[in-house]
Amino acid sequence: MADAAVSLRGVRKLFGSAAAVDGIDLDAQQGEFLTLLGPSGCGKTTTLNMIAGFLHPDAGSIHLAGRKVDDLPPFRRDIGLVFQDYALFPHMTVAENVAFGLRMRRVDKAEIAKRVAAALDLVKLTGLDDRRPLAMSGGQRQRVALARALVINPKVLLLDEPLSNLDLKLRETMRLEITEVQRRTGVTTILVTHDQGEALVMSDRIAVMNRGRIEQVADARTIYERPATRFVAQFIGNMNLLDVVAVGPGGGTTCAVRFGAQTLTVAAPQKLEAEQHVLLAFRPERSTLLARPKDDAALELAGTVRQHVYLGTRTEVHVKLTNGASCVVELANDRGGTPPAIGSAVTVRIDAADCTAYPTESCG
Amino acid sequence: MRTRNIPWAMLRGTVVLLYLFILVPIVITVSVSFNAVNQSKFPPLGFSLRWWADAMSARWLQPLAFSIELGLVAAVLSMLLGMPLAFALVRHRFPGRDALTTLALGPLALPALVTGIGLLQFIHAAGLGFLFGFPTLLIGHVLICLPFSVRTTAISLRAMPPNLELAALSLGATPSTVLREITLPLVKSGVFAGGVFAFIHSFTDYSISLFLSRPGTQPITITILSFLEYGFAPTLAAVAALTLVVPLVLIAIVQRVFRIGDFLYAENARG
């Protein structure tokens, strides 16, 4: 097997006595776009800083393109780094900013000019060579930062929350642009973000981090549709959680669970104990509303409509269940259909295939 | 509309008053120096340049040159000492950091007279009396100028986004290259602003110089002070006008070359 472009083995970092990164293993393949996604304080930025060489792991090791880099300072690692605040050199022009990394590598002048022009072309900033970063918009600055990081042909491109300082519309455009530039250059890329939308749109694979550990590494679809842990299930998108009882010991693949008089077999990625309370998770948009129960293989929950939340393309219907719990059903706003009136009795129906059971205590 | 303009009018009035307060004494001093009589009359009686001729004599020009020399050397030294000190204080946490901060900024809070007496005692006690004159003046002036260059350099350092240096490192710049190409150019305006403040502070100081100078090596302030014992002559007005020109010329030059305005309006210097 070819060496991974980036490879982390048992990497740990302590701040004081607390582990910011608590022993993670992670591989990014050549040309892959990998995202570290997680809430603030989950250790994703610390991980990035260790790959960049700004922090030294307390345990474990990091390889870039098959080479152990633990003892290499940042300036010998051949990485491209894009910061949230752009970090452009204010006393240099755009061209000088982009040329900086090449100048440090003692590339000759003519070659620098050629590569700077190509890099500015790549990020659609042709002709802005002589501008000062301060005279540019946030989006333009971020493109300069991207060009500056890419022009050195780094072994890996690290993006540290690169879009957080931009407004919503621009952020959505830049997501696609960065993804396109990455595809075209084929540079192995690691993105750090807390924005799940960004992660879902941009990544080949997503590593969801929580409390210094990686909870799941998978492509966007798997992360969203088959979250491996309760944390992932709750962190990505909206999720209904229902208290049910595991019928028999199970887990790893599937497990039978009981809710009231209904029993059904659902996915269960983690181990579950018999007769223990477990959490049944299902997505609002995979649930439907019925006027009365059908009594077949699906899970059916009786309740009353409490609230409508109109979201343009969809409407959220909040339902209070007869056992006191509540859940949300998301209905597409296609022509004609109106959600059941507030106060009306309904049945929430979810296919067993759209349910996943998790241990109650697994939020860590 | 009228009522809403009242605060604005008050602000303008205050600014005008403030400028009058600063400028009127200068105008009076300068015009007094053109008196035709040996009296400090305002408005001047007649017009003559004799006091200016007086002021241009070696008696005044020599201490003036001495003050400029002392101020320049003191400013350069306090810039050179203040820069590493500011780096240490801003960038590092170490035992004794608070003590060092107090030592570096202390002379700003202490009356210069106290510092002067203290230095005088110290130099005598240390048996360094043979240094009296330029060397002792220099020590004293660097001491009182240091807070300015430490302060302004520290402000520039703090205003610099920390990621700039990390970005340069990631692009392959060694730490010494980062210092030379990124950090120093970006704190330059703060360092030179500190240098200007230091020069002006040294140039206008008399309470330290009072204790540390000796006849023959006197800064202009001390020369003026001793002359005042015999009363005020229009010559003094001319000399005072001369000493006013020196810092103004310096600020103009430094502003042109090093853009200390970037420091004073720090927003423009950020990334």
pLDDT digit string, tens, across residues B121-167: 999 898 888 888 899 999 999 999 999 999 899 988 988 888 999 99
**Residue where a domain stops, chosen among A230, A249, A275:** A230
Looking at the complex, does the CB of residue A181 fall below 8 Å from at least one CB of chain B?
no
Whether A288 and A352 map to the same domain: the answer is yes
Residue A277: CB atoms within 10 Å:
13
Find the helix or strand (DSSP H, E) in which B233 lies. none
Whether A57 and A174 map to the same domain: the answer is yes
Whether A293 and A324 map to the same domain: the answer is yes
CA–CA dist B140, B209 (Å, integer): 8
**What average pLDDT is seen over chain A?**
91
Q: Which chain A residue lies closest to B183 (C-alpha atoms)?
A: A89
Is B183 within 8 Å of B148 (Cβ atoms)?
A: no
**Residue where a domain stops, chosen among A230, A259, A292:** A230
List helix spans (H) across chain A. Answer: 44-52, 94-104, 109-122, 138-150, 168-185, 196-202, 220-225, 230-235
Q: Output the pLDDT for position A1.
A: 46
Closest CA to A122 of A99, A102, A93, A151: A151
Of A53, A100, A158, the CB nearest to B168: A100
CA distances from B14 to A134, B20, B21, B26 (A): 34, 10, 10, 19
Query: Average pLDDT of A326-340?
Result: 85
Cβ contact (<8 Å) for A52 and B170? yes
Whether A152 and A301 map to the same domain: the answer is no
pLDDT digit string, tens, across residues A149-207: 999 999 999 999 999 888 888 999 999 999 999 999 999 999 999 999 999 999 999 99
Find the helix or strand (DSSP H, E) in which B17 lies. helix B6-32
Q: What are the tokens at A364?
A: 């860590």
> Which pTM was predicted?
0.82
Q: Output the pLDDT for position A88.
A: 95
Cβ contact (<8 Å) for A75 and B271? no
Closest CA to A100 of A151, A166, A28: A151
Is A60 within 8 Å of A32 (Cβ atoms)?
A: no
Tell me: pLDDT of A37 over 70: yes
Looking at the complex, does the CB of residue A194 fall below 8 Å from at least one CB of chain B?
no
Chain A stretch 128-147, residues whose beta carbon is closer than 8 A to a beta carbon of chain B: 133-134, 145
**Residue where a domain stops, chosen among A230, A265, A297:** A230
Residues 6+ apart with CB under 8 A from A91: B185, B186
Is B63 within 8 Å of B75 (Cβ atoms)?
A: no
Count of the separate structural domains present in chain A: 2
Positive/negative CA dihedral, B117, B118, B119, B121: positive
Among A89-98, A99-108, B52-61, where is mean pLDDT lowest? Answer: B52-61
Whether A224 and A244 map to the same domain: the answer is no
Angle between helices B112-125 and B134-159 (to 10 degrees): 130
Looking at the complex, does the CB of residue A56 fall below 8 Å from at least one CB of chain B?
no
CA–CA dist A298, A279 (Å, integer): 17
Whether A226 and A262 map to the same domain: the answer is no
Confidence grade of residue B252 (pLDDT, cut at 50, 70, 90): confident
pLDDT digit string, tens, across residues A274-321: 888 999 999 999 998 888 777 677 889 999 999 999 988 889 999 999
Q: What are the tokens at A321?
A: 């269940």
Angle between helices A94-104 and A138-150 (to 10 degrees): 20
Residue A364 resides in a domain: no
Q: Output the pLDDT for position B271.
A: 37
Tell me: pLDDT of A363 over 70: no
Of A75, A78, A149, the CB nearest to B169: A75
Among A83-87, A104-108, B50-54, where is mean pLDDT lowest? Answer: B50-54
Q: Output the pLDDT for position B265.
A: 47
Whether A24 and A115 map to the same domain: the answer is yes
Looking at the complex, does the CB of residue A74 fall below 8 Å from at least one CB of chain B?
yes
Tell me: pLDDT of A335 over 90: no
CA–CA dist A27, B195 (Å, integer): 52
CA–CA dist A245, A277 (Å, integer): 4
Whether A131 and A101 map to the same domain: the answer is yes
Q: Which of A51, A56, A75 to mutate: most B Cβ within 10 Å?
A: A75
CA–CA dist B29, B32 (Å, integer): 5
Residue B91: CB atoms within 10 Å:
12
Tell me: pLDDT of B4 over 60: yes
Query: Average pLDDT of B58-82?
Result: 94
Whether A50 and A73 map to the same domain: the answer is yes
Whether A198 and A259 map to the same domain: the answer is no
Q: Which chain B residue lies closest to A134 (C-alpha atoms)?
A: B271
User: Could you give the strand order of the β-sheet that contains A299-310, starting from the edge strand earlier in sequence?
Assistant: A288-290, A345-350, A299-310, A314-321, A326-332
CA–CA dist A249, A271 (Å, integer): 8
Q: What angle do CA A29, A33, A37 make, to 5 degrees?
A: 110
Cβ contact (<8 Å) for B170 and A81? yes
DSSP A229-280: SHHHHHHSS--EEEEEEESSSB-SSEEEEEETTEEEEEE--S-B-TT-EEEE
Residue A338 resides in a domain: yes
Kindly report the CATH number assigned to the domain that includes residue A90.
3.40.50.300
Looking at the complex, does the CB of residue A78 fall below 8 Å from at least one CB of chain B?
yes
Is B262 within 8 Å of B271 (Cβ atoms)?
A: no
Tell me: pLDDT of A262 over 60: yes
Contacts of A147 in chain B (CB under 8 A): none
Find the helix or strand (DSSP H, E) in which B156 lies. helix B134-159
Whether A75 and A161 map to the same domain: the answer is yes
Query: Average pLDDT of A100-120?
Result: 96
Confidence grade of residue A364 (pLDDT, cut at 50, 70, 90): very low
Q: Which domain holds residue A175?
A: 4-230
Is B220 within 8 Å of B246 (Cβ atoms)?
A: no
Q: Output the pLDDT for position A248.
A: 75
Kindly report the CATH number assigned to the domain that includes residue A345.
2.40.50.100
Residue A127 resides in a domain: yes
Contacts of B181 in chain A (CB under 8 A): 100
Tell me: pLDDT of B268 over 50: no
Confidence grade of residue B261 (pLDDT, cut at 50, 70, 90): low
Whether A262 and A223 map to the same domain: the answer is no
Residue scoring higher pLDDT (B20 or B213): B20
Is A154 within 8 Å of A182 (Cβ atoms)?
A: no
Residue ranges and CATH numbers for the domains of chain B are: 53-270 (1.10.3720.10)
Phi, psi angle pair for A333, to nearest 5°: -90, 65
DSSP A214-231: EEEEE-HHHHHHS-SSHH
Looking at the complex, does the CB of residue A115 fall below 8 Å from at least one CB of chain B?
no
Query: Average pLDDT of A341-348?
Result: 91
Looking at the complex, does the CB of residue A87 fall below 8 Å from at least one CB of chain B?
yes
